[in-house]
Amino acid sequence: MHRIESEIKMKIKNFKEVYPGIFRIVEQRSLRVTPPINLYVIAGSDGLLFDGGYGDDVSIQIVGDAIDYVQSINKNWRITRVLLSHTHPDHFAGLRRLQQQYHLTIMLTEPMTHVIANRKSYIHANKEDGVLKKRYSTIQQRLAALPLEFFYQKMFKKLYGIQYVPNPDIIVSPHDTITVDNTKWKIIPGPGHCADHIMLYNKEQGILFGGDNVLRSIYTWLGPPRSDLQAYMQTLHSCLQLPHLECILGAHGKPVANPKQRIEQIIEYRKSRTKQIYSIIANAPNGGITFDRLMNMMYPKKNGHRWLGRGWIIVTIEYLLNKNALMFQDKKIIANPVDINSLL
Ligand SMILES: [Zn+2]
């Protein structure tokens, strides 16, 4: 026990009790494309890990150490289960190894099982359909992107340490309640960032495990094909409605201690970005703009920001198309005369 404690102390930045009986584990890889991610342990006799994290050796070891440590502080505590927030690779990659090495029971929702069952199902779920491809890229652009895509697909498994999950142990439903000793945690659907995103809420303590939906210092990534701005806004509003919400423990960064304020800030930010896109299109000379031209205006430099930013711009255009605020005419995006404020 002493050996474990001293080892954990060395890794103290990776591991912290954020609430009595709730521990945050930080997995930090050295690669720039893989952000540090938080996993959370709810300690108890049938304790739960929220999210699977990365699947590389170091990340799996950190989780193992954390489980040992938590179990060493209270002889009644056992960590037996892991619940996934959503099927992005920094969250699910480690699940299978946690199941195999630490005998954790994997808990997924039905839609998650269809995404991460194997490589083929994962690629299928993340493919942009014909409509999106036609709208937002040319054949030349798609051809030019092929070598990078090929490289990414080859590297993808290695980057995150991915193991797919063909055999989850328990299927949970949105709105189910999970009990850890005397505390009740309710599963709350939270689509928008990712279609199968769920959150976990304890009303008595006012603690929400928000996954990627509400982060303290960054705005969560949005992009096709599995993000949806309308759903995301609804998720943010549903978080605002939670009774006694005191703190959000997110998947990246520190706890959000002023949740309502932060959620309202994110809502305002998304509204202002949506207005910005609409107004650029509405004010374009010759009555419209191509997607490429819009991208050049928003991100003039061809760098990582532009690559990441493409996602939220597409998701925002799709939102405005659904509201009939925009339409496509061939390759041009044209604004319909609407009161944009009433649509947000
Ligand atoms: Zn995510």
The average pLDDT across 314-341 equals 95
Dump the DSSP string for 36-98: -EEEEEE-STTEEEE-----SHHHHHHHHHHHHHHHHH-TT--EEEEE-S-S-HHHHTTHHHH
Half-sphere exposure of 302 (CA within 13 A, CB side): 2
Task: Record the tokens describing residue 58, joined without a space.
Answer: 């170091």
Report yes or no: 231 and 239 within 8 Å, Cβ to Cβ: no
Structure confidence at residue 11 (pLDDT): 56
Per-chain mean pLDDT for the chain: 92
- How many A from CA of 193 to the centre of ligand 1? 7
**Which of the pair, 143 or 4, is modelled with greater confidence?**
143
Structure confidence at residue 130 (pLDDT): 85
- How many A from CA of 229 to the centre of ligand 1? 14
Q: How many CB atoms lie within 10 A of CB 176?
A: 14
The pTM for the full model equals: 0.93
218/215 Cα distance (integer angstroms): 6
**Which of the pair, 32 or 217, is modelled with greater confidence?**
217
For residues 289 and 171, membership in a common domain is answered with no
Structure confidence at residue 10 (pLDDT): 46
For residues 323 and 225, membership in a common domain is answered with no
Contacts of residue 330, Cβ cutoff 8 Å, sequence gap at least 6: none
Instruction: Supply the CATH number for residue 325's domain.
Output: 1.10.10.10
- How many A from CA of 1 to the centre of ligand 1? 35
Query: Which residues have a beta carbon within 5 Å of ligand 1, which is an ion?
Result: 88, 212
Q: Residues 104-160: pLDDT tens digits?
A: 999 999 999 999 999 999 999 999 888 888 899 888 888 888 887 788 777 878 888
Structure confidence at residue 304 (pLDDT): 81
Instruction: Supply the CATH number for residue 246's domain.
Output: 3.60.15.10
- How many A from CA of 130 to the centre of ligand 1? 24
Q: Residues 254-296: pLDDT tens digits?
A: 999 999 999 999 999 999 999 999 999 999 988 899 999 999 9
**Which of the pair, 133 or 1, is modelled with greater confidence?**
133
Q: Which of 196, 230, 257 is the last residue of a domain?
A: 257
For residues 120 and 226, membership in a common domain is answered with yes
Q: Which helix (H) or strand (E) holds 102?
A: helix 95-102
Q: How many CB atoms lie within 10 A of CB 68?
A: 17
Please indicate, yes or no, if residue 145 is contained in any of the structural domains: no
The average pLDDT across 64-70 equals 94
pLDDT at position 102 over 50 = yes
Which residues form the domain of 120? Answer: 2-131+158-257
Q: Residues 167-209: pLDDT tens digits?
A: 999 999 999 999 999 899 999 999 999 999 999 999 999 999 9
The average pLDDT across 293-307 equals 91
Distance of CA 214 to the CA centre of its chain: 9
For residues 120 and 189, membership in a common domain is answered with yes
- How many A from CA of 217 to the centre of ligand 1? 15
Task: Record the tokens describing residue 197, joined without a space.
Answer: 């995103």
- How many A from CA of 245 to the centre of ligand 1? 22
Structure confidence at residue 5 (pLDDT): 53
- How many A from CA of 214 to the centre of ligand 1? 11
Q: Which of 223, 257, 291 is the last residue of a domain?
A: 257
Structure confidence at residue 12 (pLDDT): 55
Report yes or no: 209 and 220 within 8 Å, Cβ to Cβ: no
The average pLDDT across 311-330 equals 96
For residues 191 and 325, membership in a common domain is answered with no
Task: Record the tokens describing residue 130, joined without a space.
Answer: 């014909």
